Amino acid sequence: MLEAQLEELRRTTLARFASAFSQENLEEARVEALGRKGTLAQISKEFGKLPPEQRASLGKLLNSVKQDLESEYEAKKHKFEQEQLAARLEREWLDVTLPAPGVRPGSLHPITQIQAEIEDLFTSLGFAVLDGPEVETEEHNFDALNIPPTHPARDMQDTFWLTNGHLLRTHTSPVQVRGMRALGPPLRMIAPGRVFRNEEVDASHEHTFYQLEGMMVDRNVSVANLIYFMKTLLSGIFHRDVVVRLRPGYFPFVEPGFELDIQCLICGGSGCAVCKQSGWVELMPCGLVHPNVLRSGGIDPDEWSGFAFGLGLTRMAMMRYGIDDIRQMQGGDLRFLTQF
Ligand code: FA5
């Protein structure tokens, strides 16, 4: 009786394994035949109830059915896995001989480009290019520039103070002081760099922007020398006629002081957000170095005189490339940057 059931189980299960059309279907057949509650388990239960003398021969049969079914199951399962792998390989092949996508070269930021041009221009006129720290002392940023502690001019530049009493430099002018002290007169230097101000950001104002400081100290330096260098600089950069105006301007570190404005190159002078509808853009404050500043740089103002200017490099780049919002300059948007 049990023998017949075992043979029947072997025959029907082998047939089901053979006709299984998917891995799930194969698994169902296995559970029905070989699972914990499957047919073979039920037959085994009955087998346990038999008297010992009947068990020997039936036991052999039971084992052989079990082995047959398990090995057939494994063989069929392996076949499905091989088929799946082959299908995946067919789907996911990769031609490693295809040419790689081209490497897209980067480009120099417009501020870097204009800075490099100004450096070339000034080095050809005998100026040294100096660097200074972005974290400055109050002495270099203010005191040595004739801006004493209580002077209202400190309010002109909203300062980021550090907890150790130092500050983020609000302009590149402290490099004048470092230059005078390190090199002494006669002196020709420029100092490009990043500066920081705690102020409201709009189309023409950033909290972090670039300036380029210039200074020349020699015997008998006058406003005529200053104007000559300013004109040389502007024609070198813009390669076209630029309308400029010089206004009196107040900076404690120069006397007399001027504001050099250029007619807005974004709107041609008719008024826009960059020039705040005035038609003019403040680009380059300048003047003759104040005697107190020469003195704090260790230079005798009775023997030497000089001019200095502080160019808004970020704004210069905006004028040069027709960029109408300063926030784009350091926004990091590649669609903007790849245009240059
Ligand atoms: C100064 O910083 C003086 N140290 C410049 C100077 C140097 C005067 C030497 C005389 C002699 P001012 O605060 O005006 O000056 O800034 C100089 C230039 O930086 C401005 O003309 C403008 O072009 C630019 N600038 C000022 N504030 C901002 C800002 N928030 N965002 C972008 N550019 C600015």
Secondary structure of residue 87 in the 3-state scheme: helix
Q: How big is the chain, counted in residues? A: 340
Q: Rounded distance, CA 175 to CA 215, Å?
A: 10
> From first to last of its 340 residues, what are the pLDDT tens digits of the chain?
788 999 999 999 999 999 999 999 999 999 999 999 999 999 888 888 888 887 888 888 889 999 999 999 999 999 999 999 999 998 998 888 998 888 888 889 999 999 999 999 999 999 999 999 999 999 999 999 999 888 766 766 689 999 999 999 999 999 999 999 999 999 999 999 999 999 889 988 999 999 999 999 999 999 999 988 988 888 888 887 788 888 999 999 999 999 999 888 888 889 988 888 999 988 889 999 999 999 999 999 999 999 999 999 998 898 888 898 999 998 888 888 888 8
Q: Give the distance (Å) from ligand 1 centre to CA of residue 210.
A: 9
**Ligand 1 contacts CB of residue 159 (under 6 A):** no
User: Which residue among 140, 157, 171, 200 is best mutated to probe the pocket of ligand 1, counting the most ligand atoms within 8 A of its Cβ?
Assistant: 171
**Ligand 1 contacts CB of residue 259 (under 6 A):** no
**Ligand 1 contacts CB of residue 177 (under 6 A):** no
Q: Give the distance (Å) from ligand 1 centre to CA of residue 282.
A: 8
Which residue, by CA, sits nearest to atom 27 of ligand 1?
Answer: 205
**Ligand 1 contacts CB of residue 173 (under 6 A):** yes
**pTM, 2 dp:** 0.71
**Cis ω for the linkage preceding 99 (within 30 of 0):** no
Cα–Cα distances in angstroms (integers) from residue 145 to residues 55, 99, 169, 220, 254, in the given order? 110, 60, 13, 21, 9
pLDDT of residue 153: 62
Strands 187-196 vs 128-129: parallel, antiparallel or unpaired? parallel
**Ligand 1 contacts CB of residue 308 (under 6 A):** yes
Q: What are the residues whose beta carbons fall under 8 Å from the beta carbon of 139, sequence distance 6 or more? A: none
Considering just the CA atoms, what is the radius of gyration of the chain in Å? 42
